[in-house]
Structure formats: C-alpha cells, structure tokens
Homo-oligomer: A and B are copies of this chain.
C-alpha cells in the first residue's frame, strides 16, 4: 500500500536529495524577494545588468550575456526588451557581425545596478556566505562545480564550464 516511489535511492541518498531539492526550490525565491521588494528588480534582471556593468564599454553581445547569466537566448531577449523599455539598457547592432545585437547599459541602468548591488550582496551573505565556514563554502563551491560539469550540454552553459571572469564590485 505504502510502497516507496524511489526504489533506487537509499535512505542517506534520499535525505540528501530532499535537502538539495528544497534548496533549489526555495533559495531562488528567497534571493529574489528582497531584490524585488527593494529595487523592483528580479534576480535575473539584476544579473543581466551586473554582467553588463562589468563588461568593457558596458556592452555585451546577447549570446555572451545569455551564457553569463545561464539563460536561454529567448529568455534574455524578452528580459532585455523589458529592461530597454525601463530605460536601463539599450540595444544596438554589432559593427562586427550584422546578425548580432549588442546590449548596452545606459547611465540610468548603471545607477540602478549600483543601487541594487548592496541589496543583492546582503541577501547572498545572509542566506549563504555568513552561514558557512570558509571550509564549508569552499566545499560547497567545489560540489557546485562538479554538478555543473555534469549537466547535459545545453548551449546556454558553455561559459560555466570555463572559469568565470570573477570580479568584486561593479
């Protein structure tokens, strides 16, 4: 009657999986909420602006931006349209490749990301970094990297496999 639905995971694996499941389900929302509330920016929109703010000339091709933000090109295109409507980003054709579009951070967009960055950083600290020891954080990061390497090769995560251009403040 009450048979188990995961016949191939043992108790330890099951427990681990359920915690992982809970985290990947709840953490995005928990990170989104403060940003949304205090800056009217979704986590993803913030990421887009942040990646632009780190780029030379505050400019990136849509494809590169999609890679950096782990998004499909389609998703990015929709979001950039909204960001453009809000005045934070503008689009211009690439001089190199006439198929390509470049997204450019506007001055207003720069102000916005500067406003939002501390809110975002605070969430990341409060929910993750400050809760873990240095060693735990390092282990966590390594496990995440291993999992990323195992993900099926969608075109949207090529950038994740190579080292990121990590920078601190925008």
Which A residues lie at the B interface, using CB under 8 A?
A: 1-28, 30, 33, 47, 49-50, 53-58, 70-71, 113-114, 117-118, 120-122, 124-132, 136-152, 154, 156-157, 160, 164, 166-170
Contacts and interface: CB of A to CB of B under 8 A. Distances in A.
Nearest to A7: B118
B164 A4 contact: no
A24 B107 CA distance: 30
Given A24-B28, A120-B6, A147 B131 contact: yes
A16 B166 CA distance: 10
A26 B148 contact: yes
Contacts of A23: 24, 144, 147-148
Contacts of A14: 166-168
A148 B17 contact: no
A27 B26 contact: no
